[in-house]
Amino acid sequence: MVMAILAMILAGLCFYLWHHKEPPEKIEVATPEQVRNPYYLENHFQIPETQAKETVKIIERAQTGKTQPAADFKVIAQTPQEAVTQVKSRIEKKDETLPKAALEKTDKTIVTEQPENKEHDVGVYKINLRKDHKIKVGTVLADDKLYYSLGYQNRRMEYQLFMDGKNIKGGAVTYTVAEW
């Protein structure tokens, strides 16, 4: 019974990975006011509330020049709005003259003016969203016996069951104390 469930989960996971196509990266333009509003980021970009608040703090530091960008490049344009449009277009076309940091594949990319930052008129913000739920399968060798494991992880907590093919032989709960 347990083996049948594991086989179905594994088959479903394989089917999903085989047929899943990564959606194209969405590159959006936002105003400086919008990117400083966590509710706008949360609702418009579907960013979780805690990540939206963290993102706003990072963007505020960049817009005021308190932090240096990962990459720097020049754009010739008549207005900051025109520069934003040019940068967005170049990222969409994967212009290889741009720094790698600007072309990096992420969940969300926001291009905006930075009116308070005199050195960098345009900001490109790359956002990777946390994937909070994970299902895990594997094997464990203990006391010279092979067990199958089935796990579920939600953020930092992970729950695992260990089975011999017929019966549950044990379990574990772990907490992630450090991430990088």
93 pLDDT above the threshold of 80: yes
CA-to-CA separations, 95 to 19, 90, 104, 131, in angstroms, rounded? 29, 5, 12, 29
Listed in sequence order, the residues at least 6 apart from 80 whose beta carbon sits closer than 8 Å to its beta carbon are 113, 115, 121, 122
Look at residues 66, 103, 68 and name the one whose alpha carbon lies nearest to residue 88. Answer: 103
Banded model confidence at residue 47, pLDDT cuts 50, 70, 90: confident
Q: What is the pLDDT of residues 48-72, one digit of tens each?
A: 888 889 889 988 888 888 887 777 7
Pseudo-torsion of CA 162, 166, 169, 171, nearest 10°?
A: 30
- CB count within 10 Å of CB 23 equals 7
Q: Which helix (H) or strand (E) holds 56?
A: helix 49-63
Is 80 exceeded by the pLDDT of residue 10? Answer: no
What is the distance, to the nearest Å, from the Cα of residue 164 to the centroid of all Cα atoms in its chain? 36
DSSP string, 84-146: HHHHHHHHHTT-TTS-HHHH---SEEEEEE-TT-SS-SEEEEEE-----EEEEEEEEEETTEE
pLDDT at 45: 85
Mean pLDDT over each residue of the chain, to the nearest integer: 83
Q: What is the pLDDT of residue 133?
A: 81
Give CA 18 to chain center in angstroms. Answer: 21
pLDDT of residue 37 exceeding 90: yes
Please check the confidence at residue 155 and state whether its pLDDT lies above 90: no
Q: Is the pLDDT of residue 17 over 80?
A: no
What CA–CA distance (Å, rounded) separates 62 from 69?
7
Q: What is the mean pLDDT of residues 125-147?
A: 84
